[in-house]
Amino acid sequence: MTQLPVRFAILGFGHHAVRRLVPAFLRSEHAMLRGMWRRDRVAALQDCASHQIPHCFSTREELCSSPEIDVVFITSPDAMHRDDMLLALSHGKAVLCEKPLAMNAAEAEEMNAAAKAAHALFGVAQNFRYNRSLEWMREQIAAGRIGQPQLAHAQYVYSAKTAPRKWITDSNLACGGPIADVGVHCIDALRFVLGQDVLSISTVARKDDASGEMDAYASLQMEMTGGVYADVTVSARGLYRTLVEVVGSEGALVAENGLTVDRPVKVVVRQAGELVETTVIDNSDGYIRMLDSFARAFRGEGSFAASGDDGVLNMRGLDAAYKSWATGLREPLL
């Protein structure tokens, strides 16, 4: 017997939902978009009509309490994640929450503990864990293709000045600048491909007139388990670029555009300075795979790749990164 798709509602509908999530739901086998809420009621009604979303909820409470919804997908600004999640949990909903999970690790730990106490499925929308390019790199590393990993680097560059999410430059709503906005993706991607965790972080960062007290671009040097030293470099003041690379004792993996779903990703394997393999991998179904995975986990069919525990660990990384920037010292993850 064919099972009906799991019913999702987006709380905090905005540009990300329009650009990424709505198209992914349309192609999803196990997840369907049944409702939404956003602060601007006029815009919400327009969005529901444009995207044929059946339930245009008038309040957060109405969405979270609706018997027509199984999963609340929180895509609101960072500062709202904690309250939005606790509201959803109070109505017995499973929660998938955008990154960064909260404004700090203490909030993330509270959210994760609340989900466990409620026996509710809780995941973080670290969508790159469902990118086939990162999965391939993870498999090659685990198989010993490049020997023992020693060095790693993840980079994410974009222009905040042209970004449609205007709230990301508001320190009252955003956890931070690019360290929090995309650095969390870099930290999580390296944790995922290496199968290691972060022990300590040392940060240098710059502010500018547009960023106010937040970071505009930064470099994080991380000590990881397994004897790996890793760098995360981020900027909200450049042209779009992403990169993931890992150097081991027997070779290197390099993925230009490694954190993108908009174009095929070329991953190369190098050994002794020579190019030994090139593979081109399409990540265009990454969001679809993420939604389907969460829906199947909701049914009890397998697990979701980015748990609440992962969200807490990533938030501890962000806390350490910002603390290091303030103190000028290497900071351990607490």
Mean pLDDT across 98-107: 98
pLDDT digits (tens, 9 = 90+) for 172-226: 999 999 999 999 999 999 999 999 999 999 999 999 998 999 999 999 999 999 9
φ, ψ dihedrals at 152, nearest 5°: -150, 155
Domains and CATH numbers, the chain: 6-127+288-303 (3.40.50.720), 131-283+315-332 (3.30.360.10)
- Tell me: pLDDT of 242 over 80: yes
pLDDT at 265: 96
Q: What digits encode the pLDDT tens for the residues 10-19?
A: 999 999 999 9
Mean pLDDT score of the chain: 96
- Per-residue confidence (pLDDT) for residue 333, from 0 to 100: 96
pLDDT of residue 13: 96
Determine the average pLDDT of the residues in 110-132: 98
Mean pLDDT of 272-277: 94
Query: 3-state SS string over 26-46?
Result: HHCCCEEEEEEECCCHHHHHH
Indicate if the pLDDT at residue 2 is higher than 80: no
Q: Looking at residue 1, what is its pLDDT?
A: 56
DSSP 8-state symbol, 21: I
Pick the range with the lowest mean pLDDT from 147-156, 166-175, 193-202, 245-254: 166-175
Token pair 């995360």 is found at 232
Look at residue 136 and tell me whether its pLDDT is greater than 60.
yes
| pLDDT bracket for residue 67 (50, 70, 90) | very high
pLDDT at 166: 78
For residue 150, which phi and psi values (nearest 5 degrees)? -125, -45
The per-residue pLDDT for range 34-57, each reduced to its tens digit, is 999 999 999 999 999 999 999 999
- Report percent pLDDT > 90 for the chain: 95
pLDDT above 80 (res 243): yes
Q: pLDDT at residue 30 above 70?
A: yes
Amino acid at 259: L
**Pairing between β-strand 251-256 and β-strand 237-248 as defined by DSSP bridges:** antiparallel
Rounded average pLDDT over 229-243: 97
Q: What is the pTM of this model?
A: 0.96
- Kind and range of the H or E run holding 311: helix 308-327
